[in-house]
Structure 1
Amino acid sequence: MELATAGHIPNHSRLVQQFSRHLLHAYRHSQILQRTVPT
């Protein structure tokens, strides 16, 4: 059980890294859209 979990940790961290990067990109994109589109 512990070995299986330990094996999933590196893959999980990489997935989290990609997700956080995607989230940051989406956040910046929304910021740009808010700046260009007049409210």
Structure 2
Amino acid sequence: MQVQLPSSLFREHGVRAAYLFGSRARGEQSPHSDHDLAVLF
């Protein structure tokens, strides 16, 4: 799954980078998996 967020959303909140990690990033998710995000401000 690929999602694109508007860059204005990042600028508005001072986000410098966002990373998806964990089972979803590896493509090993189950229907009950959460989304693990790291956000650099």
TM normalised by structure 2 equals 0.19
Asked which structure has the greater RCO (Cα within 8 Å, sep 6+), the reply is 2
Greater per-residue strand proportion: 2
TM normalised by structure 1 equals 0.19
Greater per-residue helix proportion: 1
